[in-house]
Amino acid sequence: MCGIYGYLSLKERAQPEILRRMGETLQHRGPDDEGAWIQHSEELSIGLGHKRLSIIDLSSAAQQPMCNEDGSIWLSYNGEIYNFRELRSELASKGHTFKSSSDTEVIIHLYEEMGVGCLERLKGMFAFALWDHGRHALFLARDRIGKKPLHYAIYDGGIVFASEIKALLKHPKVGREIDFSSLNKYLTLEYVPAPHTIFKSIRKLEPGHYLLHQNGKFEVKKYWDIPLADYPIGFKTEDEYVEELREILERAVRSRLIADVPVGVFLSGGIDSGLVAAIAARANRQIECFSIGFDEKSFDESRHANSVAKALNLNHSLKIFSTREMLDNLDQLPNFLDEPLADASILPSYLLSKVASERLKVALSGDGGDELFAGYPTYQAHRIVTYYDSLPEMLKNGVKSLASCLPVSHADISTDFKIKQFLRGAGVSSEIRFFIWMGSFTEGEKKELLSNDLRAALSHDNTYEDIFAYVRASGLNKDLERILYLSMKLYLQDGVLVKVDRASMANSLEVRCPLLDQEFVEFACRLPMQYKLHGLKTKYLLKRAAAGILPDHIINRKKKGFGIPISKWLTGELKSYMLDYLGEGRIKRQGFFNYPCVKRLIDEHLEKKKDNRKLLWTLLVFQIWYERFFENPRTV
């Protein structure tokens, strides 16, 4: 796990000082070692940089940027290739020689054999920049699911790239202008979907894609996509599928235990991390599991993690945090996020990573299970809402009237919040409904929120254009299959995995996700839907596979996210903070939002007329980010 950065210029010589400034912003991603390489020719100049977090082959032989024997190919790489030993053996049999035992060198020699086709053979999480001097080609690539980030900016005469946006902003050709279309999407989705970023000049390389820059031109191509189908055919019995799931997951976990440094496991108390921990413990009885809890009991899930740890006899480390300790990290969000991300679980994710990083460099997590096996309550709600939509209009109006009379509670996912959130998604298409349920502002709410100028600038903007484009590209026709596909292409890739990467790497910790192993993902995609959402039972086959491994009460308990009491905090510990960042002076000075609308949202929440937690948190995160990147830009 590392930080990569660099740029190619067709008009000017690459400057060591620019590379140095870019690299300084990524120190947290690789504090163990660093390297930079620059090459000039008559046609162009290129510089590659690398910040190293040493995981495999801790020696100087694995230092990056790394080259082949004659120096014609150079690589700066971030990630882990889990089948590198198999590939190394194949390449050695073909005459390739190795100076290190790292997976980095395998990529270089595999490229020599296959060119960009090498991506078909790489199994793992990765983002890399490879320079091929013979072809004068810069090859940027990102793993299939999007575990590792890669951003780039094309400018007149070159291209700049890096693991994180802040590094690109250190290049003089990369501007800071906000992309209002991306802001519009963020307000609805709570994140900015790839290939967009919050900055006009910067793009994300999408998961499963590569970019080739050659002879002053560039092209972006897709090499893999999530292989969901409308009508997958099940050739095996349920018991056979359970056994296959266990076998594939065991291979995925064991391959992610390979490292030359200690490896641990994040343990949340849910079925996903519990299964990963159980399998990891079979391979290494000394492996340590990490959990955190909170002094706010209604949100504390540590008792479930403790229950799993005791049942599996795991070596378990648990730390309880106070509300104050949690909130003390709020101002740090822009330092490691780079663009707004309104997933409040970023705070506990950051603290969990911080605790684990004090003891190790690598941790396994259970991310991915909800997207692969329809684990979110929204999938259950989708099946229920079809019945609601078929009711006579008079009955639906009655339900809405009753819901509006429910007393507002600031408790975690309270009944009134769930019912009102459910009704927000009624009457719209299934794929849009999912993002209304999971996201923040609706189109109607944004009409009130956005200033006249911004609303005019976005008059031809379509918030959901990425969703519709993905639906067309997928070729899927069935609702649940579409929703699963979109949740992986957007919510997982641009929300969950961004959160995990930034929270962990801010603490110089590598997180590996066995449930997002390529073989496991492709297995899950081949399963008929009944093995994912069985009636209203979510994660059906995963729960069957966990039987006999995890306690029944863990397998069958209701889904509970890594939540924090945002609604309550906004009326208490965060109230003055919110009133400051969402104050009239700031809002009017920026010119993006209508202050009367913002004030109404605040007043409704404080007076318990409405639970506006998601809307207010989305705005608050943007305001914190904006202050750091625009009002105090020298700090970034």
Catalytic position from the list 2, 289, 513, 597: 2
- Residues 100/67, Cβ–Cβ less than 8 Å: no
For residue 117, what are the contacts with CB-CB under 8 A and spacing of at least 6? none
Q: Does 289 qualify as catalytic in the annotation?
A: no
Exposure b/e, 3-17, CB count within 10 A at least 16 = b: bbbbbbbeeeebbee
For residue 441, what are the contacts with CB-CB under 8 A and spacing of at least 6? 187, 188, 449, 615, 618
d(CA 5, CA 25): 10
d(CA 259, CA 252): 14
d(CA 511, CA 521): 18
Rounded to 5°, the CA angle 117-35-201 comes to 65
Total residues belonging to the chain: 636
Signed CA dihedral, 204, 206, 207, 211: sign only: negative
d(CA 172, CA 154): 12
- Residues 591/450, Cβ–Cβ less than 8 Å: no
d(CA 515, CA 368): 6
- Residues 48/163, Cβ–Cβ less than 8 Å: no
Alpha carbon separation from 361 to 277, 280, 508, 514 (Å, rounded):
17, 16, 7, 17
d(CA 27, CA 51): 6
What residues act catalytically? 2
